[in-house]
């Protein structure tokens, strides 16, 4: 995988490039927004927001307007407002500085698992992740990161969207909490499985009906249209 690292601090950039190269990634480095916007041929962007020539959020907005490749923001701005704004601008994840290198690699791999290869064709019987999926009155557009219920767009957080999209990959099937954590959060997740329950509760509230996401005692959750 080829990563575009947008970072103006040369020492940080050198350290990240060295570490990610050792992990098997190919790295392109851009020291400012202009270089980032002129770059090409990458599969994912690691974007610092504190750039010398322009606001990194503007870079994110322009990148998202021209490409669907995943964007992970790297920033010292830890406030909830900044994280939410970054995700609303089209970022796929948000890593706050200082971050551990292990965490960064885990985030990259987690986002990569959710990527749909450009030009890929679904196998017969498989879900086409490039198309809008309809489940009863619910529609999920993974490419645009938008969900509509009865024609009304739902305001979901990035994780709520990822959770719903994952459950929808096999409507009616039961997914365990561990399976959900590994696919929606990270394979190396060390937090409590109750994190899943909290996000399910939030999703149910936004979907308006508890029965959209059904709990199977001792197993996990399944998504299917209410009767």
Low-confidence stretches of the chain (pLDDT < 50) are 116-125
Q: Does residue 121 fall inside a structural domain?
A: no
Domain assignment of residue 219, given as a range: 133-223
- Whether the model clears a pTM of 0.75, i.e. scores above it, the answer is no
Residue-level pLDDT at 130:
61
pLDDT tens digits, one per residue of 59-118: 998 998 888 788 898 877 655 555 666 666 778 787 877 777 888 888 888 777 766 444
Q: In 3D, which of 193, 171, 168 has the Cα closest to residue 181?
A: 193
Which residues make Cβ contacts (< 8 Å) with residue 180, sequence separation at least 6?
163, 166, 167, 196, 220, 221
Residue-level pLDDT at 147:
93
Q: Does residue 217 fall inside a structural domain?
A: yes
Give CA–CA dist 171/2, Å, rounded. 33
Residue-level pLDDT at 171:
87
Q: Does residue 122 fall inside a structural domain?
A: no
Rg over alpha carbons for the chain, rounded to the nearest Å, is 18
Q: Does residue 23 fall inside a structural domain?
A: yes
Q: Give the residue from 113, 142, 174 where a domain finishes.
A: 113
Q: Provide the domain count of the chain.
A: 2
Residue with tokens 């350290």: 15
Q: Are the CB atoms for 72 and 111 separated by under 8 Å?
A: yes
**Are residues 84 and 151 both part of a single domain?**
no
Q: Does residue 42 fall inside a structural domain?
A: yes
CATH code, 87: 3.40.50.2300
Collapsing DSSP states into helix, strand and coil, what is residue 31? Answer: coil
**Are residues 109 and 138 both part of a single domain?**
no
Q: Does residue 137 fall inside a structural domain?
A: yes
């Amino acid at each position: 995988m080829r990563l575009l690292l947008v970072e103006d601090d040369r020492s940080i950039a050198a350290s990240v490039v060295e570490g990610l190269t050792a992990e098997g990634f190919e790295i392109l480095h851009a020291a400012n927004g202009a270089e980032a916007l002129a770059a090409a041929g990458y599969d994912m962007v690691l974007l610092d927001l504190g750039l010398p020539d322009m606001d990194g959020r503007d870079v994110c907005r322009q990148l998202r307007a021209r490409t669907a490749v995943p964007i992970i923001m790297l920033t010292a701005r830890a406030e909830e407002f900044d994280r939410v704004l970054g995700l609303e601008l089209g970022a796929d994840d948000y890593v706050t500085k200082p971050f551990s290198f292990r965490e960064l690699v885990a985030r990259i791999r987690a986002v990569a698992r959710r990527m749909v290869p450009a030009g890929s064709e679904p196998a017969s019987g498989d879900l086409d992740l490039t198309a809008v999926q309809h489940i009863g009155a619910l529609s999920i557009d993974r490419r645009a990161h938008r969900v509509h219920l009865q024609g009304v767009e739902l305001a979901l957080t990035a994780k709520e969207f990822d959770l719903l999209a994952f459950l929808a990959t096999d409507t009616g099937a039961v997914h365990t909490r561990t399976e959900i954590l590994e696919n929606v959060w990270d394979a190396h997740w060390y937090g409590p499985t109750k994190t899943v329950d909290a996000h399910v509760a939030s999703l149910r509230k936004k979907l308006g009906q508890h029965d959209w996401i059904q709990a199977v005692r001792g197993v996990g959750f399944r998504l299917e249209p209410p009767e």
